[in-house]
Structure 1
Amino acid sequence: MDGQQFLDRVRENERTALERLGSDKALLAATGADLDTDTVLGVLAATELFHADAFRRWSEETDDERVAEAFATAAETAGDHADRLDADLDAVPDESGVETGVGGQDGDGERAAAGLVGASLVLDRILLQAVNFFVNEADERRADLIRAVRSEADDRRDAGLALLADLCESDDEWERAATAAEAAVAAAYDDYVATLDDMGIDPKPVC
């Protein structure tokens, strides 16, 4: 397996979850149906702040210089996103972040797979809907901000794939990494479904 095969496998195995996480119900779940500018930005900022903290901790816990550098860079980028999103708020809401499956992983490969790849795939879908939200609000400036964050989240995913290519020296290591990435996406989707169920909203798309 290589990086592209890894990404293709995760996307294929979690196709339904990723499609639904990118539906128009994504922001309803993320914000508790409180669809206003500050809440949307606040949820995204809280998500990236959580990522920054997790990546910084992982950077400090590894003995591998390559892993430490990759997670330190990811932490810096996520922290910058949180700052930029917070700075654009009219009022700072008390919001928790979106579940992206980050947390509880052990081992450099599993953390890279879940945190840098799996979580980035989830975040990409949520950010797509955030772009659409601001476009519909005729707020092109904030839509451009979210587009920039989304592009840099994709860069984080690609950095994760490059790191996995360095770390995974056997099929078993690739397999463990793929399982970790898929588990992160599945955890995000399970939380999405549970949240919509609690709101009385069917998480399945209307055909």
Structure 2
Amino acid sequence: MDGATFRERVADAKRTELDGLDSPALLTALTDGEPTVRRVLEAAADSEHAAHLTFSQWADDEPNDRAREAFAAVAEREAGHRERVLDAIDGEYEPSDGGTLHSYLRGREGPIVRAAAGMVGRGLVADRTHRQVVSFFADEGDTERADLFRTLREETDSGTERGLELLEALCDSEEEWADAHGVAEYTIQIARDDFADALARTGGDPSSVR
């Protein structure tokens, strides 16, 4: 299998879940029912911060040289994203760590599983969330912030492609590709379920992301 085929198969298998995430209701879930400009930016900063910490942890303890280099590059990118989002917030904000998705990711071990879950599965989720943030700021008439998140989305997609290249280098058997496929799918499932639960807690309709 190659990376492009892997991405296509994961996306096709979780099409319903990814389409559910690609909904304006997602921002309601991410902001605890308050999708204001500031809350959207704070939620984005939290996400970038958590991702930075996840990939930094992986870069620190990953024995595979190629995977460690890739994880370190993602950690650096996510730190840069966090700072650019913080710069877009009016006033001070201290981003928070945590979340169901990153709790799951930080429990993964092995370069194949980590690349599949963190770089591909999470990358496909991030593509949808970034698109919703772009739409939010475009609807607000805030072209500067919309352009910022368009750029972050493009850079994140480049990271997803690097994850696919890493899987091509690491996977030597159909069994390893199958393991990667399973964990990438499960990452998307966790993200979808977490957002649906968060939306329900705000009094929203969880079926909009299910």
Q: Is the TM value for this pair above 0.5? A: yes
Equivalent in the alignment of 1:149: 152
Equivalent in the alignment of 2:182: 179
CA-to-aligned-CA distance 1:26-81 (integer Å, 9 cap, x gap): 10100112111221111111111111111111112111110111001000001000
**Does structure 2 retain, via aligned residues, the 8 Å contact 1:100–1:123?**
no
Residues 1:77 and 2:77 are matched in the alignment: yes
**Structure 1 residues 193 and 205: CA distance shift in structure 2, 3 A:** closer
Determine which of 116, 121, 126 is the counterpart of 2:124.
121
- Measure, in 1, the Cα distance between the counterparts of 2:32 and 2:90: 19
**Does structure 1 retain, via aligned residues, the 8 Å contact 2:86–2:93?**
no
- How far apart are residue 204 of structure 1 and its match? 2.3
Instruction: After superposing the two structures, state which structure 1 stretch, 99-108 or 5-14, moved more.
Output: 99-108
Query: Quick one: which amino acid aligns to residue 157 of structure 1?
Result: T
**Structure 1 residues 124 and 86: CA distance shift in structure 2, 3 A:** same
**Does structure 1 retain, via aligned residues, the 8 Å contact 2:50–2:96?**
no
- Measure, in 2, the Cα distance between the counterparts of 1:197 and 1:129: 19
SS in 2 for 1:91: coil
**Does structure 2 retain, via aligned residues, the 8 Å contact 1:100–1:184?**
yes
- Measure, in 2, the Cα distance between the counterparts of 1:46 and 1:6: 29
Residues 159-178 of structure 1 mapped to structure 2, 5 A cutoff: 159-178=162-181
**Does structure 2 retain, via aligned residues, the 8 Å contact 1:45–1:86?**
yes
Determine which of 112, 115, 129 is the counterpart of 1:112.
115
- How far apart are residue 8 of structure 1 and its match? 1.1
CA-to-aligned-CA distance 1:70-109 (integer Å, 9 cap, x gap): 0010000010000000011103456657754533211110
**Does structure 1 retain, via aligned residues, the 8 Å contact 2:33–2:199?**
no
CA-to-aligned-CA distance 1:103-138 (integer Å, 9 cap, x gap): 321111000001011111111111111001101110
Equivalent in the alignment of 1:133: 136
Instruction: Give the TM-score normalised by structure 2.
Output: 0.93
- How far apart are residue 199 of structure 1 and its match? 2.1
Instruction: After superposing the two structures, state which structure 1 stretch, 97-106 or 117-126, moved more.
Output: 97-106
The CA RMSD measured in Å over matched residues stands at 1.6
- Measure, in 2, the Cα distance between the counterparts of 1:47 and 1:173: 29
Equivalent in the alignment of 1:197: 200
Query: Structure 1: any 5+ residue segments left out of the alignment?
Result: none
Equivalent in the alignment of 1:42: 42
SS in 2 for 1:56: helix
- Measure, in 2, the Cα distance between the counterparts of 1:30 and 1:96: 13
Residues 1:6 and 2:6 are matched in the alignment: yes
Query: Which structure would you say has the larger RCO, counting Cα contacts within 8 Å and 6 or more residues apart?
Result: 2
Identity %, equivalent residues: 38
Identify, as 1 or 2, the structure richer in helix: 2
Instruction: Give the TM-score normalised by structure 1.
Output: 0.94
**Structure 1 residues 86 and 135: CA distance shift in structure 2, 3 A:** same
Equivalent in the alignment of 2:16: 16
SS in 1 for 2:89: coil
Structure 1 segments, 4+ long, off by >2 Å, are 91-103, 203-206
**Does structure 2 retain, via aligned residues, the 8 Å contact 1:38–1:92?**
no
**Does structure 2 retain, via aligned residues, the 8 Å contact 1:52–1:78?**
yes
**Does structure 1 retain, via aligned residues, the 8 Å contact 2:113–2:180?**
yes
